[in-house]
Structure 1
Amino acid sequence: MSQLPDFPPVIPPDEEFRRRATAWRSDIPTEFGMPNRSLGRLEQLGAWLAACQSTVPPRPLTDVQLVVVGGTHGVARTHPEISALPETFSQDVLAAISQGRSPLLSAATAEGIRVSVRDADSSHPSGSIDYEDAMTSAELFEYMSRGIEIADDLADQGTQLVLLGDAGRGVTTVAAAIIGSICSIEPVKVVGRGSGISDEAWKTKTAVIRDAMYRVRDDKADASRILRRIGSPDFATLAGLLAQCSVRRTPVLFDGVGTTAAALCAQMMVPGAADWWIAASAGDEPAHVPALKALRKEPLLTSGIGTGQGLGAILAFPLLRHAVDALNFESHDTPMTSELD
């Protein structure tokens, strides 16, 4: 077993406040046009946030931050044909976000979401997972610890909700290998087109994932070994961040097949961590939906967004905000007026 940082037991969201939120919602008079249970998923989300905050109604989400974790993967350098993206893609994306040139910033700004990036180590790609380990045990510990530090900083700043996204050339290959291994799915059923690769490149990508999965065929019950052997620094950072957010009682809205693969590992290493997470979207990668099912997560969006970088989380965030608004509806005591009257 690989050496891991120490994680305290995760305290789950407060079920008493989840029940109180449900009761609070049912007390809103039907004459205001929102009968009980009529808001569907929004009611569940509002109750979840109330449980996370231990307050009813939940506080409005005014301090929200998107963290994009990027990295470079050795397998994409060894087999450049498995990605149609340029070799410098990871660095380019993180630089564009940092310098305010990324298109996703306009969407984030419109929702009042702060954005930050973390380079897991794009200048030193991991090992090529089809024939060598991605990291040493010491490196796994280091990168997971970096994720823990990020989560602690966010919690200490009073961040109410963390949005989480991935970025990097080769992300879908690494994610497919991890998900296929943990979920026992054959390679051909988890490999996708990623950045839009050709048929020949798809065959190479399938072979790479097959070889990576074969290397960890006896390790599928040990997420730390899978992460160390066929993961990467950015996946380890994401796993540490996700787990520590749960320890610090900071809810997370996560997006991207890479982040989802890291979430699978984090939940296996830190049981109960997933109670603090919501899945933003299900992209078009074949591995994504099985991984979400393994996490027992129903995505808020099913629009096939495969951009990564947390874009799906930005687009899904308004649903959480409206879920809070529904529970902060002041109809319990104060009648509302309409311009139509």
Structure 2
Amino acid sequence: MSDLPEFPAIIAPDAARRERATTRRAELPAGYALPAGRLGRLEQLGAWMAACSGRPSGESPGNTSSANSTRLIIVTGEHGIAAAHPEISTLPAEFSSQVTEAIESGASPVASTARSLNVDVKLVDTNSSVPSGEIDHEDAMTAAQLAENLQKGMDLADAEADQGTQLLAVGDAARGLTTVAATVIGSLCGIEPVKVVGWGSGIGDMAWRTKTAIIRDAMYRVRDDRADALQVLRRVGGADLAVLTGLLAQAAVRRTPVLIDGVGVLAAALCAQMIAPGSSDWWVVASKGNEPAITPALRALRLSPVLDAGISAGQGTGALLAVSLVRYAAEVFSG
């Protein structure tokens, strides 16, 4: 797969900026009534945003730790495995289009919350007309489709960096996504299927067994590809995960901090970290859902969630709810 895009070495967030921001934080006057260390995890978030705020010469503005310019990107997709085995999801076949319609009409809670936070929402439909392959017996994508979708994600990240977006929030929305994400995470982390399979959208026992068998068969197909994230992504991932992988890796290249949310986004994050080591320094996990595959993914990425409220609604809900916390932390550390 030599025609796939390659990523340059990732430059880590600016340690000197982090140190200066932390020093300013410790020296805040008593009148602020915010002694250093009293904000818990927000202390780390503020220092992280400060470290991420520097831009190379000639790039878009972003020279403060502000997160006021924020975009939520929701990537939707269609997975052939869900069409072939509708019992593995309680979501309707038209779920992705319903999500799109609800958000674009403004009726969705995600849309209304985004408006209240002054967060722009971008929906990215990856493959509604051509679902990804049935991963238990066929590849999700061709090499050409993988390259195309990775590039699409990279272009999204470039567009946001070019227009000066200071913080990205990223979410997912697809029927069958928990099955595909568990397969990718289980494969890359070397974990047996029964330990990564979850109940997804609220399936019953028989459907859970079917889902486990699908994940088992799909993982067996890529048993020799575990060290190659792009092969795993191509064979048992999907177009949406490929777009997310390109987006997350290129956001790190462009030094754009990202709030990530959802088991699908985490599966893509594992792939992105493997193909562009160091990318995870530019991400914060917004929330921890209830899918078993999330725990090994977080462990592999060495990341921990800001929120642990059992949010598993998808569509970047957890990331959106964490935006206010990041903004507050950034404000405190802006000195």
TM-score (norm 1): 0.93
- Are 1:180 and 1:213, in contact at CA under 8 Å, matched by a contact in 2? yes
AA in 2 matched with 1:306:
S
% identity of equivalent residues:
57
- 1:13 is aligned to 13
CA displacement 1:52-91 (0-9 Å, x = unmatched): 1139994432210000000000111111111111111112
- 1:28 is aligned to 28
CA distance in 2, matches of 1:60, 1:157: 15
* Unaligned segments of structure 2, at least 5 residues: 56-61
- Are 2:53 and 2:63, in contact at CA under 8 Å, matched by a contact in 1? no
2:202 to 184, 196, 200: 196
Shift of 1:98: 2.1
- Alignment of 1:75 with 2:81, yes or no, is yes
Does 236-245 or 1-10 show the bigger shift?
1-10
- 1:332 is aligned to none
- Alignment of 1:98 with 2:100, yes or no, is no
Residue 155 of structure 1 aligns to a residue whose secondary structure is helix
CA distance in 2, matches of 1:62, 1:315: 14
CA displacement 1:162-212 (0-9 Å, x = unmatched): 100000001100000001111111111111111111110000000000000
- Alignment of 1:321 with 2:327, yes or no, is yes
- Are 1:37 and 1:43, in contact at CA under 8 Å, matched by a contact in 2? yes
Does 274-283 or 101-110 show the bigger shift?
101-110
- 1:264 is aligned to 270
Does 27-36 or 164-173 show the bigger shift?
27-36
CA displacement 1:94-145 (0-9 Å, x = unmatched): 2221232212111111111111100011221011000000001111000000
CA distance in 2, matches of 1:293, 1:58: 30
CA displacement 1:288-327 (0-9 Å, x = unmatched): 1211111111100011111100000011111101101212
Equivalent residue pairs, number: 329
CA distance in 1, matches of 2:281, 2:4: 21
CA distance in 2, matches of 1:293, 1:106: 33
Residue 28 of structure 1 aligns to a residue whose secondary structure is coil
1:63 and 1:31, CA in 2 relative to 1: closer, same or farther beyond 3 A?
closer
1:307 to 288, 296, 313: 313
- Are 1:2 and 1:228, in contact at CA under 8 Å, matched by a contact in 2? no
2:221 to 215, 224, 228: 215
CA displacement 1:243-300 (0-9 Å, x = unmatched): 1111111110011000000000000011111111110011011111211111111100
1:167 to 164, 173, 183: 173
- Alignment of 1:145 with 2:173, yes or no, is no
- 1:337 is aligned to none
CA distance in 2, matches of 1:143, 1:163: 19
Cα RMSD (Å) of the superposition? 1.5
- 1:242 is aligned to 248
CA distance in 1, matches of 2:30, 2:209: 57
